[in-house]
Amino acid sequence: MRVELPQRGLHLEYERHGDPAARPLIMVMGLGMQLVAWPAALIEGLVAAGYQPIVFDNRDIGLSGCGPLAPTDSMGHSMLRYLTHRPVRAAFTLDDMALDTLALADALELERFDLMGVSLGGMVAQKIAFRAPARVRSLVSFMSSAGPRAAPWSKLSVLPKFLSRPPKSAPVEVQIEHFAGLFEVIGCLTDEAEKAAMRVRLKAALQRAYRPTGTARQLLAVLADPDRSAEVAQINCPTTLIHGEDDPLVRIAAMEHMQRLLPEATAHRIPGLGHYMPEWVVPTLVEQVTEHLRRS
């Protein structure tokens, strides 16, 4: 479904699952990923537990609009500015994405809600919890960080694939092979059945939409907000942190840093998990998220 958000200058594509009267859980997806990236079994498990998952395409991705765009430098120039600790000019910010999410909640008439964010989505969810504490009942931050400078560098072996994108004009088979290679590396995927399932999900997502320029603009938003530690330390809602021990992209030390900022948060380390949601981890996520929601 599409909701127009004139106050934000864009529309967002969203899906609402379960009983509309059930407790709402807004789920914010990661960098360049669409709402279809949430595993169906995770959505189904949360609905079965009595919750109402709400998923959506972030701005500039999937079927959502991009909103107003500020001038930016090239990605190469922006990376140089980031590496030399100079401000990065982003077309929009993580704060903008947080305000988009709050506008979606307004449009759906949700006064209070729980939040779950994965990777970049965790960063956006942290922003929302900081900016609108009266509205956020609880927070789950999954394989995320308090900013790229608040965590160690990604493993160098994953950066070339992570920072490159096949052109939009490339055949879908080329796009699938590129992203399959990326997710095998960052997701630490070795099981052939899991790789096959990942390719099926990738094909469906790429046929739905492919917007590499939007992904690049989202990455600039991350680089323009390199350390949110002071904001994260002020989050006062019940919080659960979940992270894969083998994540080569956003490394486990990122969660450990957030634990120090939020000493009352519950933290779960998942052995063998990289930066991906394989089918084998979904039952664990359902259990950990529903336990968090009951507790909060």
Give the residue-averaged pLDDT of 140-169: 92
pLDDT at 50 exceeding the cut of 90 = yes
Looking at the domain assignment, is residue 227 inside a domain? yes
Cα atoms in the 13 Å half-sphere on the side-chain side of 217: 21
Domain range for 81 is: 2-152+212-295
How does DSSP assign the chain, residue by residue? -EEEETTTTEEEEEEE-S-TTSEEEEEE--TT--GGGS-HHHHHHHHHTTEEEEEEPPTTSTTS----------HHHHHHHHHTT-----SS-HHHHHHHHHHHHHHTT-SSEEEEEETHHHHHHHHHHHH-TTTEEEEEEES--S-GGGSPPPPTTTHHHHH----TTS-HHHHHHHHHHHHHHHTT---HHHHHHHHHHHHHHHHH---HHHHHHHHHHHHTS---HHHHTT--S-EEEEEETT-SSS-HHHHHHHHHH-TTSEEEEETT--SS--GGGHHHHHHHHHHHHHH-
Looking at the domain assignment, is residue 177 inside a domain? no
In whole angstroms, give the CA distance from residue 119 to residue 151.
Answer: 13
Looking at the domain assignment, is residue 160 inside a domain? no
Distance between first and last Cα of the chain: 29
User: Is the Cβ–Cβ distance between 42 and 286 less than 8 Å?
Assistant: yes
| pLDDT tens digit sequence for 72-110 | 999 999 999 999 999 999 999 999 999 999 999 999 999
**Domains in the chain, number:** 1
Looking at the domain assignment, is residue 223 inside a domain? yes
The residues near 276 (Cβ < 8 Å, ≥ 6 apart) are 183, 186, 187, 188, 189, 198
Looking at the domain assignment, is residue 168 inside a domain? no
Looking at the domain assignment, is residue 111 inside a domain? yes
Burial class of residue 266 (count of CB atoms within 10 Å of its CB; 0-12, 13-18, 19+): middle
The lowest-confidence range among 151-160, 216-225, 253-262 is 151-160
Find the CATH number of the domain harbouring 111: 3.40.50.1820
Looking at the domain assignment, is residue 271 inside a domain? yes
Looking at the domain assignment, is residue 162 inside a domain? no
pLDDT at 159 exceeding the cut of 90 = no
Query: 26: pLDDT confidence band, cut at 50, 70 and 90?
Result: very high
